[in-house]
Structure 1
Amino acid sequence: MQVTRRGVLVGVAAAGGLAALYTLAPRDYAIPLDPADGETAFDAWIKIATDGMVTVAVPQLEMGQGVTTLIPQVVAMELGADWRQIAVQAAPVSGAYANTVLAAEWAPLWMPVAGGLAEDADDFLVRRFAGRERFTATANGTSLAAYEQPCRDAAASVRALLCMAAADRWGVDWEECRTENGFVIHDAERLRFGDLAEEAAGFVPPDPPPVFSKPPADTPAVPSGPGFGEETNAWPRLDLPAKVDGTWQFAGDVRLPGLVYAAIKHGPLDKAELTAFNRSAAADMRGVVGIVEGKRWLAAVAETSWLAERAVEAMSPRFSVMRLVDSEAIAVALSDAELNGTGTVVATRGQGAEGFGKTDLALRYEIAPALHGQIEPTTATAWYRDGTLELWLASQAPEQARRAAAKAAGVALEDTILYPMPAGGSFDRRLEHGHAIEAAVIAREIGRPVQLTWSRFQEHLAGYPRTPASLLLSARHGDEGTITKLKMRASLPATAREFGERLFGNATSWSAIENTAGEADPMALAGAMPPYAIPDVSITHVPAAIDLPTARMRGNAHGYTCFAIESFIDELARRHDRDPLSYRMALLGQDLRLAECMQRASRLAAWDGGSAGSGQGLACHVIGGARIAAIANAQPGEGGVRVKSIHAAVDIGRVVNRDIARQQLEGGLVFGIGLAVGCSTDYRDGLPTSQRLGDLNLPTLADSPEITVDFVDSTLPPADPGEIGVAVAAPAIANALFSATGLRLRRLPLLSAGL
């Protein structure tokens, strides 16, 4: 048999050899899947057991978005497997699973000097970086874009191998065979995958892989029976049963022999140093195992988490601080940057701001710092023994967390093992890895397996928020309000670059701030370019020097740029007595996909023109290949004005799993509601004023409106549904509140007391 590069990739997997990853720079990777007895491993993605169970490796963090269903579904559809026999394995950290799509999007962060040389996932520099750094980060909704084709290639190759093994037994051409529900079929003959797997690994698959011409897609659900009104779902979530019965394991569920528990106290923001504490207050407590001093934190370790929390509290640690974060100082810095700062144009259309002339309308929109508000506490388990460090934690960037922990604990990287755990919710919070560093250091000092859990106050203190910002929008327009020129002057820190310094440079929070001071950051203003055909647009970033470390959050910059743009558009429409829907349609230009979304949303919501008192508010947005139009309905009720419903029409291209897409869109809208009414905090003397989860004014089930989502059928490449709902929720609600009350709110969160 002729051996091809593809053959090397698949054929040696069963023998535990090396996989030549042909999609990256030429390099060999050890086969990351370790087959158990009775299993045959095919490349980095698929194992098949003798009982027919097909195990699919998933290199992305499951944090509620359903990636442990999406990736196996792609494999199952291409392989012809039985969905009831699909299992999932969290993939170990390996260059074989490099996320080149995200690496290309984040090239300005890991290669800030020449990021323009690595703008495409197929660029050599991107492939080399992602493979060498084992970059498998979960972010920006890139899971399908990065892994759908490799999974289809792998599944198609395994399908061909199974057919070859069956055809060899039957004495027929393998191309005459097909797969269905876990069987290889030829006329009346059929054989189970499990009966063929071991033989199949000895064949060489065709190169290129024989993928089906029709890509994976989920058809609209249909009634399961006459009169029942129930819908069938051909691809139910694989993680759902375990989450319902409580057997789904999170980082806080890890139990090891001799496990002890750690509680921690951090110093005020930012750059605090531990100076004193009352050791004797905890040393004599029965059940206290040890006390560990970090340079900027203090931890107590005990037999129970409750006792550890009592012990660290009793020691009353004190810190010296070189600078204290304060909300008033942040507001002054943003205002000073807006008035006096030197800005950099980060995006233009047409002539930009050239010849702008006299402004017809200028409005400012303010964004307060927003906390992630994830319900699952920050948790990491670490075990240091015999020179080896083992970590159990949820991480959106596992290799970067592993490297940081190894360096902090003084352990060789090759002796550091990270076991990826799912997250109950992340919203990009798990892109940070401070807890991994702390758990590693504590475990090294204690000499026993340690589970570190941050209290909610420590989460709000040491977990960095989404950036505050001040966005000034100015426009020139004609007599009927048609915009001819638009410019945005945005004052905020270089928040994306700051995050990149921490993730890729392992910089401290204050070093990241100092290293990016005064830098323009286009990623910090993603989504600022409006989707409307305004001839001349200019987007300027004015770097603001604030001492508050800032981080990524679900929706990221789109969460505040869309709020400013869509609120501004709405204000212009109403100042000229224009229907906000028809006004937007007139501005839209050639984006027929967004026009379709607007028309569908208006039909769903029975749009009446958004007239005064109607309580209807519209917002639209575009993120990559995804488009959305949403109409919120706000009505006066007991305790004030409440959002009763949100109707959204969405075009996310080809829908791979309709159920998950709907869940993500609904979840994104609810998360956006949280950002609209809460999730915020002030800072005084380096401490957050919102110290408990209840302080964040998060929407409860009773606060959540009725949500209707309509998908536009499309054959375009799939786009992420998880972020775009976040972007439109706040402006749709703000516009609805104006329609209901005549009150225009230009600051997020909109109402400190909720809706």
Structure 2
Amino acid sequence: MAQGARLTMELSRRHLLVGAALGGGLVVAWGLRKRPYPLPLPPGEGEVAFDAWIRVARDGVVTLSVPQLEMGQGISTQLAQIAALELGADWRQMGVVFAPVSEIFANEALAARWAELWLPMAPENGIPADNWLARHWAQEHRFTATADGMSLAAYEAPVRHAAAGARALLVKAAARRWGVNAQDCTVSAGLVRHGQQSLAFGALAQEASGLTLPDPLPLGPPPAESPARLPSGSTPPFPRLDAPAKLDGGWMFAGDVRLPDMLFAAIRHAPLGEAAHLAGHDAKAAKGINGFLKLVEGPDWLAAVASNSWAAEQALAAVAPRFSVHRPISAEKVDGALDNALKAAIKQGGQTIAKQGDPEALLGSKPPYSQRYDAAAAVAAPLETASAVARLRKGRCEIWVASQAPEQTRRAVAKALDISVEHVVLYPLAAGGSFDARLECPHAVEAALIARETGKPVLLTYTRWQEALTAIHRPPLAAQIEARVDQTGTIAAWRLRVAMPSAAREFGARLLQGVSRAEAMAHHQNAHADPLAMEGFVPPYSFALAIEQAPVSVGLPTGRLRGNGHALGAFITESFVDEIAAAQGREPLSYRMAMLEGDPRLAACLQRVSALANWNGGHDASGQGIACHRIRGGCIAAVVTARRGDEGVAVDRIVAVADIGRIVNVDIARQQIEGGLVYGMGLALGSAPVWNGGLPTGARLAALNLPLLANCPEVVVDLIASTADPEDPGELGVAVAAPAIANALFSATGLRLRRLPLGSED
């Protein structure tokens, strides 16, 4: 089989039929019929299951199944809030449980957005969220991934319908007991009421579960909170469900799991480069370490197993594993590959991502504005390093892990152990931050292999060094951007050429097709353009434009990271717009407003943030910078105050205004935007490891120049009330932070920084 053959979907009669349907020919019926699935999580003692989503206990506690990874973004609270409002439950009696993998919980919305990753003939702009093909594929692959801010889009409707159904049945049961019309009953605070009579959910659940659902379901209004009625600092009506457990230490992570006879494993991986493999080690050196039990070899890693984690680490240090690697990765090789690809794209043109109008005719042969922008590779650097527990018993493998794509993790484990995926049981746990670092879980595979060799349960935990060494990177890039203005000084035409890995396609090959990192990089070295990776590079402004990509492999495994292409695209767009405004002697805010004729919501964000931040135009070295961005149905504008401090860049204040449509939970929305702004600050000023000889030269968090509590700026977030469809707020702040900081530094110093991290040119 050729090297790239495994990367192509296996052609079958099914895929031929799908292709015919997409091409306008034969339309087939498979995938359209509803299939019955067993309950993925049977009710416990004293509980009644109304469906896969909702269970009601005798004591009135309502438990919602949450099929998304909780990694601090608050999705478990938001889905529970949606269920409680529709059901009429008492928030004090709401609980959540992380749902096991099941077709019932398929994330059809994300499957449609990521169509290019699994559908060879996918249209360039993806497929609609309600497309039957996306539904079938998501169900067939038990695809419940948590990513791209699609949780509400995917699960708000099914949760509301499940809660409305449970409420209707509870009301019907109560009405039968009282001999009254169900329409005369009301539901609130976990009680069904009629006049002076009331019955608790727990007393009605058993009887209600055996009744027939009404058709259509009586849905209430969609949940919506007003930001004006819930100003910052006010008590939220629906406080986070995970907060108490996190405060008292009861919140469970994979590293907290303890099983009988469990062992502890430490691991060392090979440096990054071609054909990396384990070359040798001194096994005898570990024999005298108290608690050490065994070494387990992988193709490019070595693990030590002991009765405690300290002994495992000491054993690895003693045996001193040696690795062989061909052409180890270095910063010079990454930059060289990008330089060569960009030069070729400038000379020959890249692959078109987006085009509007006739930019070539307007730009001419020598556009007056032309600049080079660069971004180094960045890593997620979550506070919790990778950890997983594995246990093999009677031909079955149990895995305790925080995974953004649990079914794909199950399949990877099954493939490594050469067992059926049905014999892999995954217990979903929360993550201590992820930022897309837990979309892929090679540590779960390694834990399973180590457990097989030891015959006992094993907890594998990466050190910070191993987390950095095995990280998937946000793709680095080199970009050339050109523009020409009209007679009024307003931008008329814009061309952007970006040399960058096809990170989304590379990621999709690893996650969905199970290929190795090396195979995925090799296959996508000269791949087609990657619209998903380049999402966010199209400006929101009304001028003629052309966006092109030159796909290139840089030797680093690349993929998803919070903000994704939006964080990179916004940095280039908003920095260059600011640059042209300054050259034209125009005030940056009004300059942007003049080009936002077709986007009143983004214009409103700019207007409000200028008033809230006391925007002065960035004049007189004030250190104020402004930037805005749109991600699908959400938009944001920010004003940053920054300066050059004694220890580098100092960000003093960030003011942001966002429109994210209908807001389910104002408190969580603010948290997400605040967190995104601080995370974006980290990406703007650091988060970029330097590679030498295939190893990161600084692997500790302190070496990544991340924001500390001591130097975090004042952050002010305002939300605009809207009736538009809800949009996830989690990545908006990440996208707008870097350009706003860069523009603020230009105001403060007169220096234009065009490389991420900012200041790395020095």
Q: The TM-score by the shorter chain falls in which range?
A: over 0.9
Distance 2:433 2:592 in 1: 35
The residue type equivalent to 2:538 in the other structure is M
C-alpha displacement of 1:115: 4.8
Matches within 5 A, 1:98-497: 98-115=106-123, 119-212=127-220, 214-220=221-227, 222=229, 231-270=234-273, 271-341=275-345, 343-353=350-360, 356-357=363-364, 358-497=366-505
- Asked if 1:647 corresponds to 2:651, the answer is no
Task: Give the match's secondary structure for 1:241.
Answer: helix
CA pair 385-563 structure 1, distance change in 2 beyond 3 A: same
Distance 1:69 1:78 in 2: 14
The residue type equivalent to 2:83 in the other structure is V
Distance 1:514 1:25 in 2: 40
Matches within 5 A, 1:499-510: 499-510=507-518
Distance 1:514 1:222 in 2: 54
**Residues 559-603 of structure 1, C-alpha deviation per residue, up to 9 Å, x if partnerless?**
111000000000000001100000000111121101110010000
Q: 2:598 aligns with which of 585, 590, 600?
A: 590
C-alpha displacement of 1:354: 5.1
The residue type equivalent to 1:659 in the other structure is D
Task: Give the match's secondary structure for 1:76.
Answer: helix
Aligned to 1:675: 683
Structure 1 range deviating more: 461-470 or 316-325: 316-325
Distance 2:154 2:722 in 1: 20
Task: Give the match's secondary structure for 1:574.
Answer: helix
Aligned to 1:528: 537
Matches within 5 A, 1:732-747: 732-747=740-755
CA pair 567-118 structure 1, distance change in 2 beyond 3 A: closer
Structure 1 range deviating more: 339-348 or 113-122: 113-122
**Residues 704-731 of structure 1, C-alpha deviation per residue, up to 9 Å, x if partnerless?**
1101111110111110100010001010
* Alignment check: 8 A CA contact 1:612 1:742 kept: no
C-alpha displacement of 1:355: 5.5
- Asked if 1:541 corresponds to 2:544, the answer is no
* Alignment check: 8 A CA contact 2:227 2:719 kept: no
Structure 1 range deviating more: 113-122 or 166-175: 113-122
Aligned to 1:16: none
Task: Give the match's secondary structure for 1:427.
Answer: coil
* Alignment check: 8 A CA contact 1:697 1:753 kept: no
Task: Give the match's secondary structure for 1:396.
Answer: coil
CA pair 230-103 structure 1, distance change in 2 beyond 3 A: closer
Task: Give the match's secondary structure for 2:315.
Answer: helix
Task: Give the match's secondary structure for 2:400.
Answer: strand
C-alpha displacement of 1:360: 1.5
Cα RMSD between the aligned structures? Answer: 1.7
Aligned to 2:619: 611
Task: Give the match's secondary structure for 1:61.
Answer: coil
Matches within 5 A, 1:13-162: 25-115=33-123, 119-162=127-170
Distance 1:751 1:123 in 2: 46
C-alpha displacement of 1:23: 11
* Alignment check: 8 A CA contact 1:277 1:317 kept: yes
* Alignment check: 8 A CA contact 1:46 1:56 kept: yes
**Residues 375-425 of structure 1, C-alpha deviation per residue, up to 9 Å, x if partnerless?**
101100000111110000000000000110111022221111000000010
Segments of 4+ moved more than 6 angstroms: none
Task: Give the match's secondary structure for 1:242.
Answer: helix
CA pair 636-552 structure 1, distance change in 2 beyond 3 A: closer
- Asked if 1:750 corresponds to 2:758, the answer is yes
Task: Give the match's secondary structure for 1:597.
Answer: helix
TM-score, normalised relative to structure 1:
0.94
CA pair 387-277 structure 1, distance change in 2 beyond 3 A: same
CA pair 423-611 structure 1, distance change in 2 beyond 3 A: same
CA pair 117-634 structure 1, distance change in 2 beyond 3 A: closer
How many equivalent pairs are there? 727
CA pair 223-293 structure 1, distance change in 2 beyond 3 A: closer
Distance 1:40 1:158 in 2: 11
CA pair 117-689 structure 1, distance change in 2 beyond 3 A: closer
C-alpha displacement of 1:655: 0.6
Aligned to 1:6: none
CA pair 24-558 structure 1, distance change in 2 beyond 3 A: farther
Structure 1 range deviating more: 250-259 or 689-698: 689-698
CA pair 57-304 structure 1, distance change in 2 beyond 3 A: same
Task: Give the match's secondary structure for 1:548.
Answer: coil
Distance 2:227 2:720 in 1: 11
Distance 2:31 2:294 in 1: 49
Task: Give the match's secondary structure for 2:669.
Answer: helix
Task: Give the match's secondary structure for 1:419.
Answer: strand
Structure 1 range deviating more: 270-279 or 92-101: 270-279
The residue type equivalent to 1:521 in the other structure is D
Distance 1:641 1:59 in 2: 41
The residue type equivalent to 1:643 in the other structure is V
Distance 1:688 1:95 in 2: 40
Task: Give the match's secondary structure for 2:656.
Answer: strand
TM-score, normalised relative to structure 2:
0.93
What is the percentage of aligned positions where both structures have the same residue? 52
Aligned to 1:18: none
* Alignment check: 8 A CA contact 2:362 2:492 kept: no
CA pair 480-689 structure 1, distance change in 2 beyond 3 A: farther
The residue type equivalent to 2:300 in the other structure is R
Distance 1:641 1:444 in 2: 50
C-alpha displacement of 1:481: 2.4
CA pair 329-286 structure 1, distance change in 2 beyond 3 A: same
C-alpha displacement of 1:220: 3.3
The residue type equivalent to 1:41 in the other structure is A
C-alpha displacement of 1:230: 6.1
Distance 1:205 1:175 in 2: 14
* Alignment check: 8 A CA contact 2:31 2:133 kept: no
Distance 2:252 2:68 in 1: 16
Distance 1:411 1:23 in 2: 27
* Alignment check: 8 A CA contact 2:334 2:554 kept: yes
Aligned to 1:13: none
CA pair 24-54 structure 1, distance change in 2 beyond 3 A: farther
CA pair 751-230 structure 1, distance change in 2 beyond 3 A: closer
Distance 2:227 2:125 in 1: 41
The residue type equivalent to 1:448 in the other structure is K
CA pair 733-469 structure 1, distance change in 2 beyond 3 A: same
Distance 2:381 2:330 in 1: 21
* Alignment check: 8 A CA contact 1:677 1:753 kept: no
- Asked if 1:697 corresponds to 2:700, the answer is no
Task: Give the match's secondary structure for 1:577.
Answer: coil
Task: Give the match's secondary structure for 1:78.
Answer: helix
Structure 1 alignment gaps of length 5 or more: 1-21
* Alignment check: 8 A CA contact 1:618 1:632 kept: yes
Q: 1:555 aligns with which of 553, 563, 566?
A: 563
Aligned to 1:626: 634
Task: Give the match's secondary structure for 1:309.
Answer: helix
